[in-house]
Amino acid sequence: MTRMIDEDFKYFYRNSGFGPAVDTRPAGESTLTLYRGKLPEKLLEYWKAYGFSGYGGGLFWMTDPSEYSEVLNAWIYGTPLYGTDDFHVIGRTAFGRLMVWGTRTGPCMTILSMTSMIFPKDNSKWMSQGKGDALASSWVERLDKVDLDEEDEAGQPLFERAVNQLGHLAPDEMYAFTPALRAGGPCRLDHLKKVKAVEHLMLLAQLGEPEIMLDIVKEAKDRGVWK
């Protein structure tokens, strides 16, 4: 039985139904050392205990940031986000949604590669107060299967049907629309296929500049309507 190192991971694993882990790869000491001081100790604690694994049958993957550093650079280079923090991809979904942590800004960005949209969120206030570990455990606890799935053009969830049609994903794979939605392809199950995640995410990044969405919390604070 998997050892639960805190209540947040327990909620994610059991209550939210993301367990058991699949295709676990251990996080070596050299990896933990590389990211110590850049990422919160709580996240490194998860890595040490559970490795880099798939959860929810492969719907969500805890990632080794080094494997996605070039992908992240390709997505944010040339945008106002580039160079504002030291960013790392800490999670991704079966459909290539990337979850990004900033050393100064915490859980600060979600990249929706399918639709080429980036949702920023500035948590620098909490990070400056030393709450990185709490933000990391909260991030894990709040992961939700319904939210992480994608829908087809009829509004129907895709993940389980993609698994049934195409089979389970390997750790380096994702489901992708062909042609890509950005290239005019339809958002339908019969246009999904399994592809290598890194290579396809790099391809999607080259289809045009992503749309940077509004950080509504920051906007509210800047306008003085939210303290």
Q: How many CB atoms lie within 10 A of CB 118?
A: 19
CA–CA separation, 97 and 119 (whole Å): 11
Residue 48: the pLDDT is 96
199 residue type, one letter: E
Note the pLDDT tens digit of each residue in 53-107.
999 999 999 999 999 999 999 999 999 999 999 999 999 999 999 999 999 999 9
Tokens linked to 132: 């990185």
Q: What is the mean pLDDT of residues 126-143?
A: 97
Q: Does residue 40 surpass a pLDDT of 90?
A: yes
Question: Residue 48: which of 70, 25, 71 has the closest Cα?
Answer: 25
Residue 225: the pLDDT is 38
Q: Dihedral sign for Cα 171, 185, 97, 206, please.
A: positive
CA 28 to chain centre: 21
Q: Does residue 132 surpass a pLDDT of 90?
A: yes
Q: What is the DSSP letter of 83?
A: T
Higher pLDDT, 1 or 49: 49
Residues forming beta bridges with residue 194, ordered by sequence position: 175
Band the pLDDT of 215: cuts 50, 70, 90: low
CA–CA separation, 202 and 206 (whole Å): 7
Residue 1: the pLDDT is 57
Q: What is the mean pLDDT of residues 130-134?
A: 97
Residue 211: the pLDDT is 95
Note the pLDDT tens digit of each residue in 138-185.
999 999 999 999 999 999 999 999 999 999 999 999 999 999 999 999
To the question of pTM greater than 0.85 for the whole model, the response is yes
Q: Does residue 216 surpass a pLDDT of 60?
A: no
Mean pLDDT of the chain: 93
pLDDT over 70 percentage in the chain: 94
HSE-CB for 118 with a 13 A CA cutoff: 21
Note the pLDDT tens digit of each residue in 164-176.
999 999 999 999 9
